[in-house]
Amino acid sequence: MRWEELDQQPCSLARTLSVVGDRWTLLILRDCFLGVRRFETFERRLGITRHVLTDRLKKLVEHGVLYKSAYQERPRREEYRLTGKGLDLYTVILALVNWGDKHMADDRGAPVKHIHKACGHAMHPQMVCSECGEPITARDIRVEAGDGWQDRAPLVGSDRS
């Protein structure tokens, strides 16, 4: 499978990775959730080249994850803001942060706390079933072909236990 063909795969993960699947894009999204909006601020915080930053921001705008909004007219200057589609990525970012806090933090612990505004407590994301509310892990899930899998090879390999 070639990188430029990911968006054609019958797999939601592959299609998602075709938009957000590189380190710079994920770090740009992290900064968006931290309130960064301006090109120069992304560039300074990330230490990213202008060319790479321009490319990643353009792709996020093209895919409706971010939109540009003018904050100055003369000269025209724009900032990048998350769309509803972009805001939906927060759970993904938070899950990756949680994994990093658990498996990559040093002896001092997590570098950032996430505080639930409603209750005021530091929280850790937890995946639950949308139907019954029970917590779930990989071992609690079975996959089946959906409508988007029509006329394809078998979904699950024979070596899965």
Mean pLDDT of the residues in the chain = 90
Summarised one tens digit per residue, pLDDT across range 19-51 is 999 999 999 999 999 999 999 999 999 999 999
| 150 and 158 Cβ atoms separated by less than 8 Å | no
Summarised one tens digit per residue, pLDDT across range 79-121 is 999 999 999 999 999 999 999 999 999 999 999 999 999 999 9
Compute the half-sphere exposure of residue 110: CA atoms within 13 Å on the CB side of its CA: 15
Q: How confident is the model at residue 53 (pLDDT cuts 50, 70, 90)?
A: very high
- pLDDT on residue 33: 96
* Tokens linked to 78: 């724009």
Q: Alpha-carbon distance 93 to 63, whole Å?
A: 18
In order of their start, the domains of the chain are 3-144 (1.10.10.10)
Q: What is the pTM of this model?
A: 0.86
Check the CA dihedral 149-139-92-90 and report its sign.
Answer: positive
- pLDDT on residue 38: 96
